[in-house]
Amino acid sequence: MAGIPHRLNDSILGLYLSELGSSKSQIGSAWMFASLSEVPIFAVSVFLFRKYHPVFLITIATILYTIRWGAYGYIQDPTIISVLQVSQGVTFALFFVASMEYIS
């Protein structure tokens, strides 16, 4: 269930930003912010697993997903939403690596 917001992000973010009046370059920037924000989490994930159990990290990622998508529902400024894409790294990347660690 917690992975559903990520699929929504992939499917409708561009449409949502477009509806709010974003330019194509602003939509591209939002995707860039999301992609670049994942790299540090992937890089430090090995250290996170030394300190925290994967279920704890999955829970944190799920809570942050909830906050992030709640903010998207209330904020109508495409610039702020584009910048909020930086939280993609903490939500998706953390959820992904913690899920993989838990499964393995």
Distance CA 72, CA 86 (A): 13
pLDDT at 72: 85
Distance CA 81, CA 56 (A): 27
75-96 residue pLDDT tens: 889 888 888 888 888 888 899 8
Distance CA 1, CA 65 (A): 11
> Model pTM?
0.80
Residue with tokens 């912010």: 33
> Does 75 or 9 have the greater pLDDT score?
75
Task: Enumerate the domain spans of the chain.
Answer: 27-103
pLDDT at 3: 64
Residue 16 has phi, psi (to 5 degrees) of: -65, -45
Give me the percent of the chain exceeding a pLDDT of 90. 21
